[in-house]
Amino acid sequence: MGRAVILSIPFHGHVNPTLAVVQELVARGEEVIYYSSEIFKERLEQVGAHFRQYDSLFTDEVLQTSANDFAAFLIEEALHVVPQVLEEIRATQPDYIVYDTLCLTGRCVARALDLPAVMLFTTHAAGISGRIQKTRKSSAPPVTMAHLPVAAPQPGEPQQDVLIVRGNGRSPFPPGFRPAAPPQGPGAAPPQGPGVTLAQPAAPPAGEDPAKTFNLPLTNPSEVFDYAEPLNIVFVPRAFQVPVKTFDESYVFVGPSIRAQNAEQPQITRSTERPTLYISLGTVNNEEPEFFKQCLEVFGNTEWQVVMSIGERLDIAQLGEIPANINVAQHHPQLAVLPNTDVFITHGGMNSTLEALSHAIPLVVIAQMPEQTVTAERIAELGIGIALDKFMLTGEDLREAVYRVHNEPSFRQEAAKMQAAIKESGGAKQAADEILRYTTAGRKAPALDVAGS
């Protein structure tokens, strides 16, 4: 039996896709220790993981920052979390580390402890940072991160590094860094402009540079995102992956592992007379009362049976009068709704997208954050649905898109092709196969008990 430590970030879209894999690993005799936030404790323990909590700096708003600012934040998050968990994980003596691609802490811990590491992609795999950056809006100057010489070193002296952080807007210096003098010497001039901060790794108590302690040199923001381990598990079918690069055998596209619906959840039945329209903006950026009011106006008292989830941040009373053909709740069990859905208006989160496509449901996508914009573009490219711009959305656009994907057979036909691709993917079983194949290769065999022989 092996021992795994899994580190993720505290969002449903990053934890939920891993649950079936955890369950599969536990069923095969692995001990799984999972670091996450308290809201996931119950469901992680239900699939057999040992839950451990850490304090995170993540907020919903962070996910909407520019790509460069987000890269700087992920470094800041790692500098905040690694000191919380490193020694505890060291004492646990895991055989391997599994971590989310946005959890830089996992990369740091694996390097610090010299352990095999597996990276998990809950959305499109590596190589998309440039495409994401085009979709992100930021009024702040871009962030530049570089290790540059502070001054020309004297013979026999180590070269000092400086971290240039521009426009992160959160604190003068990331945790673990101190002010630094401007670089000097030929070719060492840093970029200038508003919001530039020069920082130098502060010496920790042990007297080691954090970058050297974790063996994690970063010279460009793209290196935060576009990075690969010897094994990378992608919870997306290969056919749905954005074609940004050629992937070698280290990338395994296992597709989604959609867990069975809880038997206690009520089934939303399909009307025999009306097509069913499901509307949800997911669990993060869903506080959009004007959008939901627009949906009531466009689809109220029409031929549609509408099921609408508005999220826990909104009160249904904020929407005013609810038409009789629309079932509004803060939360509908999505896996219970989708089997009887004809069209899905979604934010384009990868969980929701693949859950819908597993039922061959055509989509109308209104992305709420940059990564979802990439998914929305992919959906439109494949003819699975229509992507609409949230900032230019009109009621007529919404009505026309829903009617088109419902009435034009090509959308459902293309969705059915992706449904087949999902079924052909290996899912949690393949993910567990690959993780165990890679991590057991260098694992020491248990000592034999020869007492009394």
Instruction: Looking at mean pLDDT, say which of 216-220, 245-249, 437-441 comes out highest.
Output: 437-441
- Does domain 276-424 match CATH 3.40.50.800? no
Rounded mean pLDDT of the chain? Answer: 79
Domain spans, the chain: 1-137+221-256+426-453, 144-219, 276-424
Among 163-172, 175-184, 186-195, 223-232, the minimum mean pLDDT is found in 163-172
- Per-residue pLDDT averaged across 31-57, rounded? 95
Query: Where are any strands of DSSP class E within 282-389?
Result: 305-309, 326-329, 343-346, 363-366, 385-388
With a pLDDT cut of 90, the percent of the chain lying above it is 52
Q: Tell me: pLDDT of 40 over 90.
A: yes
pLDDT tens track for 114-148: 899 999 999 888 654 444 444 444 433 333 333 33
Q: Is the pLDDT of residue 36 over 90?
A: yes
Residue 88 has pLDDT above 60, yes or no: yes
Amino acid at the residue 125: A
End-to-end Cα distance, the chain: 24
| pLDDT band for position 211 (cuts 50, 70, 90) | very low
407 has pLDDT over 90: yes
- Residue 433: the pLDDT is 97
Higher pLDDT, 179 or 35: 35
Q: What is the spatial distance between Cα 422 and Cα 218, in angstroms, rounded to a whole number?
A: 35
Both tokens of 138, joined, read 């930021």
**Amino acid 443: pLDDT:** 64
Place of tokens 């060291």: 90
How far is residue 33's CA from residue 42's CA, in Å, rounded to a whole number?
Answer: 14
Residues 6+ positions from 82 with CB-CB distance below 8 Å: 105, 108, 109, 112, 214
Helix residue spans in 16-115 (DSSP H)? 19-27, 41-46, 67-92, 104-113
Tell me the whole-structure pTM to 2 decimals: 0.77
Give the model confidence (pLDDT) of 260-304 as tens digits. Answer: 544 445 556 666 678 999 999 987 766 788 999 999 999 999 999
pLDDT confidence bin for 223, thresholds 50/70/90: low
Q: Report yes or no: 300 and 236 within 8 Å, Cβ to Cβ.
A: no
Give residue 368's pLDDT. Answer: 85
pLDDT the model gives residue 444? 58
Q: What's the pLDDT score for residue 378?
A: 94
Instruction: Give the C-alpha separation, 349 to 351, whole Å.
Output: 6
3-state secondary structure of 57: coil
- Both tokens of 380, joined, read 């439109």
Q: Which residues, other chains included, contact 306 with Cβ-Cβ below 8 Å and sequence gap of 6+?
A: 276, 277, 278, 279, 295, 299, 300, 325, 326, 327
d(CA 125, CA 112): 24
Q: Give pLDDT, residue 196.
A: 42
Is the pLDDT at 197 greater than 60, yes or no?
no
The amino acid at residue 220 is: N
> DSSP label at 142?
P
Given this chain, do its domains 1-137+221-256+426-453 and 276-424 carry the same CATH topology? yes
- Conformational region of residue 75, where left means phi above 0, alpha means psi within -120 to 50, and beta covers everything else: alpha
Q: How confident is the model at residue 435 (pLDDT cuts 50, 70, 90)?
A: very high
Q: Are residues 429 and 24 in contact, defined by beta-carbon separation less than 8 angstroms?
A: yes
Distance CA 356, CA 291 (A): 21
Mean pLDDT of the 412-439 span: 96
The mean pLDDT value for 382-394 works out to 94
Cβ-contact 426, 255 below 8 angstroms: yes
Contact 438, 237 (CB under 8 A): no
**Burial classification of residue 84, based on how many CB atoms lie within 10 Å of its CB (0-12 exposed, 13-18 middle, 19 or more buried):** middle
1-137+221-256+426-453 CATH pick, 1.10.287.1770, 3.40.50.2000, 3.40.50.150, 3.90.470.20: 3.40.50.2000
